[in-house]
């Protein structure tokens, strides 16, 4: 049958034709790539068809319509399932500036080049690479955890923007997950919080196929998932056969009628292969079926055995008449409602438009505090708290919280009306993640993907618990904000378990992530100004627990240099130093003290504050050389953390003062003396560096 040939089908026959089109596109793409996972796509095709064609409020013509339903493919290895849907429903491309361009985001030629260089169909779904992909997935559990953030964003936006006559936000979030997602701890963290918050706009669909890479799940997994989720406070329903469209529709109806909790739909699936003895395992995880098995399977479907990437006549039109028409009508109605809303509530409407474009409201930086010189100073977390509260008051969609550490990280929003985000009040600005650092990171990503500006906080040592989500925020290029306090051995008596050593170096190693470690209160202010204006870069803000002297800016350079990542804080006469002292964060004041001592002794020294290596590397070569002149080889770096990475700035003749072991439990001043973080030690290292350079 030619692809454009029109044949009259019954409704049930057309359902089957569309489902088998999804299956065969997935089989053919994986086979042609000789790489991938066809099994799950084949088994879950009826489920995704029922969801997309039957209920999803999504307009392929405008895949970033603000009140669209979200679909997250948490089982990212089944990416061909999503690419098939994006292709068959005709989802249009959107560029990074959020302008709908009009051409299909996944062409048949992209599917034919599945997993190949520059195809819009990479091995796992990539946000910002393929329009219609709501979040990057692949690391199991991340997708479902991120969907919790999307659902929370929907509840918050409804509370903030909706009015009795204008229900602008009421979207639902669907996430398709599997046994691997259920085993990963992050899904349990996220599901627990979702149940606690009674997120009734959240639906997870669990492919209960009992297969992982090693074989049957019985080797390692025997959880009663239904009982577990009932314990989390979820509505749980079951579909005994993934092919049963009526039961799938009934389960989705149950979700829509549940108003006080999230829903888990457990779907039992089995892949119908051509060979009766074929097992699910290889196809579900990483092996093509093989040409002969594909022919047998297509014969089983009543499909042309030798046709590849075959889309029968009527399939495109059927999707256009279903999700296409429904999504279009819903979006047009929403736009009409939004235009009326703009007339009655212009300020709130402008906020929606600004959020969608990741822009800031006018006056976002008004009333920000500045800090006078003070030798006693203020802790980084305390100055940040003052700045954050002003910023959040100016930017209504700046919201966040901590993994049970707000009293320590000083991230609670305390201004009038800030409130708490709870199941009883979704409009609060303070989020409470509980002791769930991993899920917190994923949820922050979901909030950010929904165009809120979220922050989450914890101790720097526990950034390790959040690392998979931090990495994904960098991969997706979304401006999630991570605030980590207790930045060094300055934690003191808490000892090695709480003293971060390698964390700064490992965060700096993540491509696209900006780390900012300000050295005093005014550097913290400038760091927040940089953070607020980020569009496509996540940021880690690293702050001290202990007080840091506030630098006298009448004697030293303006803290505005933070925006360039590194700047000359104090210099030698005529700007001709013979030694450069470099430091970040809580060690800057030590470097300043050493600089002053060296200056008294007639040593021509320069002190450079380096709060962000990433921002510094973004500057042109002329600026970088003006801060770190190549001909000045005597250099000393100071950081109460691993020295890893500092060699690129110190060079072969310089010295690196840092941690080469784990810390110890003792008061801070004793630790600084033990590990060499004193002005005297820096002065000595500087003089040695000068001698070596000469």
Supply the residues annotated as catalytic: 437
Residues 530-548: b if buried by 16+ CB within 10 A, e if exposed:
bbbebeebbbbbbbbbbbb
Distances from the Cα of 532 to the Cα of 16, 47, 463, 670, angstroms: 50, 41, 21, 37
Of 216, 213, 65, 46, residue with least CA distance to 134: 65
Please tell me the total number of residues recorded for the chain in this structure. Answer: 694
Rounded to 10 degrees, the C-alpha dihedral 362/367/373/377 comes to -100
CB 236 within 8 A of CB 198: no
Say how far apart CA 602 and CA 600 lie, in whole Å: 5
Say how far apart CA 156 and CA 429 lie, in whole Å: 9
Where helices occur in 553-693 by DSSP H, the ranges are: 588-600, 613-617, 621-627, 647-650, 668-675, 679-693
Residues 255-270: b if buried by 16+ CB within 10 A, e if exposed:
beebeebbbbbbbbbe
Say how far apart CA 37 and CA 30 lie, in whole Å: 7
CB 36 within 8 A of CB 80: yes
How far from the centroid of its chain's Cα atoms is residue 9's Cα?
44
Adjacent-strand bridge partners of 542: 484
Of 600, 690, 597, residue with least CA distance to 636: 690
Rounded to 10 degrees, the C-alpha dihedral 348/91/144/193 comes to 20
DSSP string computed for 67-127 = TPPEEEESSGGGHHHHHHHHHHTTPEEE-TT--EEEEESS-HHHHHTTTSTT-S--SS--T
3-state helix, strand, coil in the chain (%, to 5): 45, 15, 40
């Amino acid at each position: 049958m030619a692809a454009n040939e029109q044949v009259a089908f019954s409704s049930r026959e057309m359902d089957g034709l569309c489902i088998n089109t999804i299956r065969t596109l997935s089989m053919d793409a994986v086979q042609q790539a000789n790489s991938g996972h066809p099994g799950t796509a084949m088994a879950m095709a009826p489920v995704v068809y029922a969801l997309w064609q039957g209920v999803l409020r999504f307009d392929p013509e405008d895949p970033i319509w603000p009140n669209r339903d979200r679909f997250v493919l948490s089982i990212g290895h089944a990416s061909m399932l999503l690419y098939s849907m994006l292709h068959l429903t005709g989802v249009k491309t959107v560029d990074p500036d959020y302008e709908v361009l009009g051409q299909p985001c996944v062409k048949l030629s992209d599917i034919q080049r599945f997993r190949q260089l520059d195809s819009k169909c990479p091995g796992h779904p990539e946000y910002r690479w393929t329009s219609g992909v709501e979040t990057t997935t692949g690391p199991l559990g991340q997708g479902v955890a991120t969907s919790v953030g999307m659902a929370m964003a929907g509840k918050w936006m409804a509370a903030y923007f909706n009015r009795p006559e204008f229900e602008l936000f009421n979207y639902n979030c669907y996430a398709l997950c599997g046994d691997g997602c259920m085993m990963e701890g992050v899904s349990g963290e996220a599901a627990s919080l979702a149940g606690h918050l009674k997120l009734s706009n959240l639906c997870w669909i669990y492919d209960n196929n009992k297969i992982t890479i090693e074989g049957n799940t019985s080797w390692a997994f025997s959880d009663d998932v239904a009982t577990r989720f009932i314990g989390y406070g979820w509505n749980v329903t079951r579909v005994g056969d993934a092919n049963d469209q009526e039961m799938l529709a009934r389960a989705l109806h149950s979700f829509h009628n549940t108003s006080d909790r999230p829903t888990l739909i457990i779907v039992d699936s089995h892949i119908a292969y051509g060979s009766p003895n074929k097992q699910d395992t290889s196809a579900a995880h990483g092996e093509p079926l093989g040409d002969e098995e594909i022919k047998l399977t297509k014969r089983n479907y009543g499909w042309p055995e030798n046709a590849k990437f075959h889309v029968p006549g009527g399939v495109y039109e059927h999707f256009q008449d279903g999700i296409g028409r429904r999504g279009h009508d819903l979006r047009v109605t929403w736009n009409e409602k939004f235009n009326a809303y703009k007339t009655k509530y212009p300020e709130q409407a402008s906020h929606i438009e600004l959020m969608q474009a990741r822009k800031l409201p006018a006056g976002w930086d008004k009333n920000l505090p500045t800090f006078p010189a003070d030798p006693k100073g203020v802790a980084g977390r305390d100055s940040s708290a003052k700045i954050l509260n002003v910023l959040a008051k100016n930017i209504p969609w700046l919201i966040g919280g901590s993994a049970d550490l707000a009293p320590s990280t000083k991230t609670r929003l305390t201004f009038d009306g800030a409130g708490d985000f709870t199941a009883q009040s979704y409009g609060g600005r303070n989020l409470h993640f509980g002791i769930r650092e991993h899920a917190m990171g994923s949820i922050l990503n979901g909030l950010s993907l929904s165009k809120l500006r979220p922050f989450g906080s914890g101790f720097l040592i526990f950034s390790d618990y959040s690392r998979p989500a931090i990495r994904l925020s960098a991969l997706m290029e979304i401006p999630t904000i991570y605030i980590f306090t207790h930045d060094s051995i300055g934690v003191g008596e808490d000892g090695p378990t709480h003293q971060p050593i390698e964390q700064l170096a490992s965060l700096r190693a993540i491509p696209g992530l900006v780390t900012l470690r300000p050295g005093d209160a005014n550097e913290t202010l400038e760091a927040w100004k940089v953070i607020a204006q980020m569009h496509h870069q996540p940021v880690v803000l690293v702050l001290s627990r202990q007080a840091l002297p506030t630098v006298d800016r009448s004697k030293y350079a303006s803290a505005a240099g933070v925006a360039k990542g590194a700047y000359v804080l104090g210099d030698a006469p005529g700007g001709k130093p013979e030694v450069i002292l470099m430091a970040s964060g809580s060690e800057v004041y030590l470097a300043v003290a050493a600089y002053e001592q060296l200056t008294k002794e007639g040593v021509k020294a320069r002190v450079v504050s380096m709060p962000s290596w990433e921002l510094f590397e973004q500057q042109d070569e002329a600026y970088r050389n003006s801060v770190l002149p190549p001909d000045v080889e005597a250099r000393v770096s100071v950081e109460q953390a691993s020295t890893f990475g500092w060699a690129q700035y110190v060079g072969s003749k310089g010295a690196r003062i840092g941690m080469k072991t784990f810390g110890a439990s003792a008061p801070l001043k004793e630790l600084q003396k033990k590990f060499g973080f004193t002005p005297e030690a820096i002065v000595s290292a500087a003089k040695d560096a000068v001698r070596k350079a000469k």
